[in-house]
Chains A and B, each alone.
Chain A
Amino acid sequence: MKLRDIIRETQAYYCLDCGKCTAVCPVAAHSETFSPRLTVLHALLGHNGGRPAGRLLGDCLTCGLCTEVCPSAVRYLSFTQMLRREMAETGSPPACSHGGVLTSLMRLQARKLEGRRGHDWVPAEARWAETGPLLYFTGCLPYYEVCFAELGASPLQTARDVLAVLNGLGATPVLLDDELCCGHDLYWNGDEDDARRLAERGAAAIAAAGAETVVSACPECVHALRDLWPALGVATGFRALHLSEYLAERGAAGELGLAVLPGRATYHDSCRLARQLGVVEAPRASLRTIYGSGFREMERHGREAVCCGTSGWLQCDAVSRRLQAERLREAAATGAATLVTACPKCRIHFLCAQGGESDDEVKGLRIRDYASVVREAMEGGEAFGDTA
């Protein structure tokens, strides 16, 4: 796609050069080189062939705060994604952290035609099925369990907690024996071909299981299944819901008999859930029930919430770290002892950053996944030894 077409498609030519995007951009606040406004300007003026120089394109978190404030409705996220796609095709995709191994594993899943993965992590007492109307899409949690063991986060515990919550609602969800990556990261990093491969095979597997509703505890998976797969031309005959949406739909607060948990807690909105999917209220509904008057909002929350600092395993750096540290201090400032997030990636990033912080209140924060909190409340608030 030509740059001209990208500009037209994303309405970049509507840019008024007003600078509101740069004012709210969390990266621009800490980086001396990055500015959404300038990136668009360079494209419009054709500087450097219209492509942002060097790492700038990978610096964008695609968090979407800029599009929230843009008076001209420039589709900046699509603009970034399309430019990345162009750069990937011309041989210079943006750099990834962790040596690129997570992205490499995604591509291998997209391309490799053999092999199936098992469900070793599923507890014996859990109820699950191979076919049925409700499907639980675990996403990358098993990979994170392997790759981030040193964080002590046990990402797979989140998956066990989701299963327990769904079982608690009387549901017996389908677990796919050959579940593949949702393709979210590859799409946003510009590798649409591999994202489409994953979408095609993923949609076929979900269809084969007969699922009508797909639930995930990962906002990126939900975003991919609901928005990106159709955008990649892959038809889906199911609804994709975040766990919090599913619980809200089921009126779960009453149905699950959630207990009140002691202490104060606050909630971090993930970019994908709050802005791309517009899910702000659903998780809060459960958390207000669980924590009662102990639930506090951070200064920046809902659609104005700030990103956890990294997305798509793109290049993590000093700016990421500063965003994370800032967000953790913001959470601690509410007086909360628990920071709840409904995105496994946000949780991993915060846990990683927390390890290097010296502030006692930040160090004392318990960073938990939404599903784990719900499960604990559902089971009466008793301590579960291995609950994250």
Chain B
Amino acid sequence: MPESLWQPKSLAQLQQALLEDRAFLEFPEGGHFVLQNLQDSPCRSACPAGVDVKGYVGLIAQGRFQEALDLVRRACPLPGVCGRICTHPCELACQRSELDDAVAVRLLKRFIADWELAHGARGIPRAERRRAENVAVIGSGPAGLAAALDLARLGYGVTVFEAEASPGGMLAQVIPGYRLPRDILAAEIAAIAGAGVEFRTGVRIGQDLSLEDLRGQGFAAVVIAVGMPLGRHLEVQGEKDYAGVYDCVSFLRREHTAPRDHRGEKLLVIGGGMSAMDAARTGVRLGFDSVQVVYRRTRDEMPAIEVDVVEAVAEGVELVFLAGPRRILGEDGRVTGLECDRMKLVAADESGRPRPVPIRGSDFTLPADVIVEAISQRSDLSFLPRALDFEVGAWSNLVTDPVTMATRVPWAFACGDVVTGPDTVVGAMAQGHVAARSVHAFLRGQPLTRPALAPPLEAQVRNRLPRKQARVPASSLDPAERGGFDEVERGYDVAAAMVEAARCMRCGPCEDCLVCASDCRHRHVMLAAPGTGPGAAAEPFEPVLIRVPADREEFPLQDAPRRVTLRWQPRGGRAAKGAARDAAPGELGLELTPLVCAVEEPLCRGCGDCLLACPYEAIRLEERGEGRPLVAVVQTERCRGCGTCVTACPTQAMHPGWFSHRGVLEQIDKLLAGAADLKAEDGSHEPRLLLISCNWCFPMSEALAATLPAGTRSLRLLCTGRVHPSFVTRAFEAGADGVFVAGCAKGECHYGGGNERLLATAASLRGALNLIGLAPERFEARLFPTGSAEAVVAAVQDFEAGLRRAGALRLATAAILPLEVSL
């Protein structure tokens, strides 16, 4: 079938097509939409690989762990690895740290990865092979794995070549097991293999096969992700004269593959980075009598992340600062010690750190049996054929185009440490994504580009901070018990993970995480729109939602969606659009609904109630001429779509882009209709009860939710400030015996004062219900501290006991009057 006849059959396919620029959305008034949210939350902006942090944390808070993991895997193929050893730049950007502690994002990612393993891993769905070309990836470290998975998902045949016996690169060879158990790594690589990536281990390119051989075997493109597997030396006197001096990579690789007994020996590690900490802490486990880390600067300048330093010290590692190695000493061919200069710090060098200079005549000696030089790494590029035009940089790095990761050889791309020098796992994965995208563009004959990165969120979106609530700590193995290579850090359990995830303040607008999708009962994706006019992609984007028409029947919505056209080309890419325009473009009508609230002007009487209710000051009143009432206008750039104004509007002139007033009433009818058989005629009454709760604050595990009374039907709203009195009266009309509303505690509302609005609504509603003689025990609205799902359940149980005492609410007819139409 020619590609021009392609039609999206699912939301995922549509997203993929948009991502690949094979398709775009065209609006009647002009302008195109491409899939990119140009306003990321700070955590996502900070993540080099672009993991949707806010999205998966939100899903964890709701107990939707597999979905959370799926979301992580869109951008990170190694959640279990990153959940352990990622340097988590997202946490450094977390806005919650302004209030108390950053959300423990890394531990949360680790939790879902562990959870999947413990529950029979589902892994990554097998990618459909849709394209003829094969791609070879050399090296199976994080960069190679990320590129391989992306390419497999794009439909290519992908083979990863690994020189060592097992895949994983530095993760498998060098990272100590107490930080990264190898079964975790193996499971994640198995998941990537399960997605359709082929692994060939023990094949060293340059020895077993040459680069040209790969081309000859039908690999249309090659991704070079060989890393920097060799250690660097200090180049000091005595270094090559005595046994017992190692570079860090060799030391760790050797001790990992064949650990030896070092009891009675002294270890000196030179360097202050993460690999220095790995070497030192490994030394502790190998039985060294003493382990000292020698560093030229002070603790403040150490590149190693804090937790590694803390753990090293806890395990007995001694840190020697302001010590500059000068000469390695030895006797009888064996190392005996290190002669150092005492250093002092002077003004910063080009790395931004204070520069250490030796103090004259201050030299001292540290005794040692083994010295590990943990200073840096280098590559082994001997496999690159001289005939090809590769460029190797001063640090033995492979030079690429910084934007596209293209080498000078058209079919070869490179990523990871071999390009950047030693970097983090997440940094390597980020490069893998770029390389995969470029390979795809190369194979499709498109120009190599990288989409502009989303600028970080400028203004802080939240305008009120929630109550302080400290990060949930994760326990770790007692230092006294850390003899072997058992993993030191313990992850979260289900309850701890959900409570911690609920601390996320959800900065920024919707990010296509679909957290809300199951509650809204319809699926939508986040798109971003350029300004109007063709080719205006550089203009500011406004967030929008797009809904798949197939969802309409089951979950009808009455908000007025706009008609947009999805167009696609035989050969994708907007750059190629002019040439491809006349080939065989296809199109498909879609409905697009803004995330923002919108005013139906004929219904608006200009009362301004919405303006007062809006937590974001997103509404203003505009004049519409003499004798006409003012009209409320939503400032789309401020609106967050919470729907608070929808409840405040007396005339239903305000429509949210997603679930309307009528939509909620329909959900209520539906929820309660299913419980109709609960009311027994024989008097053994099982009360029907509607629980309306805040979407964010009461993550409830399945086990806990199962302890809710049997007649409970649950409706979650983004904000309980959205509760309209008619939701409650409708529930009674539909046959509920009671309605319980659980809001978050004062000061904890994501949308400002939604919980206070709930209390005001409840007070007046209670008055009205009292007038129709409805027993007070049939309606209750209460606030609970964030995360206290157990308290909510207990309160609902009490409430249900009251309903049992009150008996069934008897109605004259079971027929529910149809909902009103508002066209």
Residues of A within 8 A of B (CB): 53-55, 88, 91-101, 104-105, 107-117, 142-143, 145-147, 149, 178, 191, 193-194, 197, 315-322, 325-326, 352-353, 355-356
On chain A, the residues within 8 Å of B821 by CB distance are 54-55, 92-95
Q: Are the C-beta atoms of B729 and A108 separated by less than 8 Å?
A: yes
**Residues of B with C-beta under 8 A to A100:** 665, 726, 730, 820
- Name the contact of B732 in the complex, choosing from A95, A108, A320, A355 (C-beta under 8 A): A108
Q: Does B771 contact A (CB under 8 A)?
A: yes
> What does DSSP make chain A's interface, helix, strand, loop or mixed?
helix
Contact A318:B628 (CB < 8 A) given known A93-B818, A112-B773 = yes
Contact string, B630-655, partner A, CB cutoff 8 A, digits 1/0?
A: 11000000000000000100111100
Complex alpha-carbon distance, A319 and B812, angstroms: 37
Interface pair B811/A318, CB less than 8 Å apart: no
Question: Chain A: which residue is nearest B730 at the CB level?
Answer: A104
Pick the contact of B822: A55, A318, A319 (CB < 8 A): A55
Nearest CB of chain B from residue A265's CB, rounded to whole Å: 26
Given the interface pairs A95-B652, A316-B650, A322-B627, the reply to whether A113 lies near B810 with Cβ below 8 Å is yes
Residues of B within 8 A of A178 (CB): 773
CA distance A62 to B818 in the complex (A): 22
Within 8 A of A (CB), among B413-465: none
Q: Say yes or no for B313: interface residue by CB 8 A criterion.
A: no
CB pair A146–B629 under 8 Å, yes or no, is no
B768: chain A residues at CB < 8 Å are 101, 105, 143, 146-147
A100 CA / B817 CA spacing, docked (Å): 12
Residues of B within 8 A of A105 (CB): 729, 768, 771-772
With a CB–CB cut-off of 8 A, which chain B residues contact A109? 772
Interface residue? B791 (CB, 8 A): no
Q: Is the CB of B729 within 8 A of A101?
A: yes
Chain A residues positioned under 8 Å from B770 (CB to CB): 117
Q: Tell me if B11 counts as interface (CB < 8 A to partner A).
A: no
**B residues near A115, Cβ cutoff 8 Å:** 772-775
What are 24 pairs between A and B in contact, CB < 8 Å? A94-B821, A95-B822, A98-B650, A98-B726, A99-B724, A99-B726, A101-B724, A105-B771, A108-B729, A112-B772, A115-B772, A117-B770, A117-B773, A146-B764, A191-B817, A317-B653, A318-B602, A318-B629, A318-B631, A322-B627, A326-B627, A352-B607, A353-B605, A356-B606
When the two chains form their complex, are residues A108 and B724 in contact, meaning their CB atoms are under 8 A apart?
no
Task: Using A91-B818, A95-B822, A315-B603 as known contacts, list a sample of 18 further A-B pairs with CB atoms less than 8 Å apart, ordered by residue number in A.
Answer: A94-B820, A94-B821, A99-B647, A100-B820, A101-B768, A105-B768, A105-B771, A107-B817, A108-B729, A108-B774, A114-B809, A117-B773, A146-B768, A315-B651, A318-B631, A322-B629, A355-B607, A356-B605
Task: Give the docked Cα–Cα distance between A12 and B317 (Å).
Answer: 98
Residues B771-821 near A (CB distance < 8 A): 771-775, 809-813, 817-818, 820-821
Q: Are A117 and B771 in contact (CB under 8 A)?
A: yes
CA distance A108 to B628 in the complex (A): 37
A99/B773 in contact, CB under 8 A = no
Q: Which residues of chain A are within 8 angstroms of B775 by Cβ–Cβ distance? A: 114-115
Interface size class on chain B is 35 or more
Is B287 an interface position by the 8 A CB rule?
no
The reply to whether B630 and A356 contact each other, CB–CB distance below 8 Å, is yes
Complex Cα gap A322–B602 (Å): 11
B608 is an interface residue with CB less than 8 A from chain A: yes
Kindly list chain A residues whose C-beta atoms are within 8 Å of the C-beta of B733.
104, 107-108, 111
Per CB-CB distance, the 4 closest pairs between chain A and chain B, nearest first, are A115-B773, A321-B605, A104-B729, A101-B726
- Contact (Cβ within 8 A) A325 B817: no
**A116 to B729 alpha-carbon distance, docked (Å):** 17
The answer to whether B606 touches A149, judged by C-beta atoms less than 8 angstroms apart, is no
State whether A55 touches B726 (Cβ < 8 A): no
Please tell me if the beta carbons of A108 and B772 are within 8 angstroms of each other in the complex. yes
Most B CB contacts (10 A, CB to CB) among A93, A112, A116, A352 go to: A112
What are the residues of chain B within 8 A of A147 when measuring CB–CB? 764, 768
Contact A101 B771 (CB under 8 A): no
Contact yes or no, B812 A111, CB < 8 A: yes
Q: CA separation between A137 and B725, bound complex, in Å?
A: 26
B524 contacts partner chain A, Cβ-Cβ < 8 Å: no
Question: Nearest Cβ distance between residue A177 and chain B, in whole angstroms?
Answer: 10
* Complexed CA–CA distance, A355 and B612 (Å): 14
CA distance A110 to B605 in the complex (A): 31
- Looking at B770, B809, B820, B822, which has the most chain A CB atoms within 10 Å of its CB? B820
- Is B389 at the interface (CB under 8 A from chain A)? no
Complex interface: chain B residues within 8 A of A320 (CB): 605
Output the nearest chain A residue to B724 by Cβ-Cβ distance: A99
Please, what's the 1-or-0 string for B705-745, where 1 marks a CB less than 8 Å from any CB in chain A?
A: 00000000000000000001110011011000000000000
Q: A99-B647, A111-B811, A317-B602 are in contact. Are A117 and B772 (CB under 8 A)?
A: yes
| Complex alpha-carbon distance, A316 and B609, angstroms | 14
Q: Across the interface, name the chain A residue whose C-beta is closest to B732.
A: A108
Picked from B606, B724, B811, the residue with its CB within 8 Å of the CB of A113 is: B811
Could you tell me if A318 and B771 are in contact, using CB atoms closer than 8 angstroms? no
Interface centre among B602, B628, B630, B813, by most chain A C-beta atoms within 10 angstroms, is B602
Contact B629 A321 (CB under 8 A): yes
Mark B29-62 against chain A: 1 for CB-CB distance below 8 A, else 0.
Answer: 0000000000000000000000000000000000
User: Once the chains bind, are B602 and A116 in contact (CB under 8 Å)?
Assistant: no
Q: A99 to chain B: which residues have CB within 8 Å?
A: 647, 652, 661, 724-726
A114 touches B607 (CB 8 A): no
Query: Does the CB pair A356–B629 fall under 8 Å?
Result: yes
User: Pick the contact of B628 from A111, A143, A191, A322 — CB < 8 Å?
Assistant: A322
Contacts of B773 in A (CB 8 A): 112, 114-117, 178
| A104, A326, A356, most chain B CB atoms within 10 A | A104
Q: At the interface, yes or no: B515 with Cβ under 8 Å from chain A? A: no
**Of listed A96, A99, A317, A321, residue having the most chain B CB within 10 A:** A99
B629 x A197 contact (CB < 8 A): no
Contact yes or no, B772 A318, CB < 8 A: no
> Is B604 at the interface (CB under 8 A from chain A)?
yes
User: Whole-angstrom distance between the alpha carbons of A325 and B626 in the complex?
Assistant: 12
Q: Name the contact of B820 in the complex, choosing from A93, A114, A194 (C-beta under 8 A).
A: A93
Q: Tell me the minimal C-beta distance from B178 to chain A in angstroms.
A: 59
- A contact residues around B818 at 8 Å (CB): 88, 91-93
Residue from the set B605, B627, B652 with the largest chain A CB neighbour count within 10 Å: B605
B259 within 8 A of A: no
Across-interface contacts of B653 in A (CB, < 8 A): 317
* B767 close to A (CB within 8 Å): yes
Shortest Cβ distance from residue B683 to the other chain A in the assembled complex, whole angstroms: 15
The listed residue (A54, A112, A353) touching B811 by CB distance below 8 A is: A112
Q: Is B539 an interface residue (CB 8 A)?
A: no
Most B CB within 10 A of own CB, among A94, A178, A316, A318: A318
CA distance A99 to B629 in the complex (A): 21
Tell me which residues across on chain B come within 8 A of A117, comparing CB atoms: 770-773
A197 touches B812 (CB 8 A): yes
How distant is the Cα of A318 from the Cα of B603 in the complex, in angstroms?
A: 5
Interface centre among A53, A95, A352 (most CB of B within 10 A): A95
* CB proximity of A157 to chain B, nearest CB, Å: 16
Residue B823 lies at the interface, judged by CB distance under 8 Å to chain A: yes
A267 to B665, CA, bound (A): 40
Q: How far is the CB of B791 from chain A (nearest CB, A)?
A: 29
Closest to A104 in B: B729
Residues of A within 8 A of B811 (CB): 111-113
- Provide the bound-state CA to CA distance between A142 and B764, in Å: 12
Q: Quick check: is B601 within 8 A (CB to CB) of the other chain?
A: yes
Residues in A whose Cβ lies below 8 Å from that of B820: 92-96, 100
- Residues of A near B812 (CB, < 8 A) are 110-113, 197
Q: Tell me the nearest residue of chain A to B649, going by C-beta.
A: A99
A115 vs B773: C-alpha distance when bound (angstroms): 4
Q: B residues within 8 A CB of A191? A: 817
> Shortest Cβ distance from B811 into chain A, in angstroms?
5
* Residues of B close to A92: CB separation below 8 A: 818, 820-821
Give Cα A191–Cα B604 distance, bound, in whole angstroms: 26
Most buried by B among A92, A111, A142, A194: A111
The answer to whether A317 and B604 touch across the interface, beta carbons within 8 angstroms, is yes
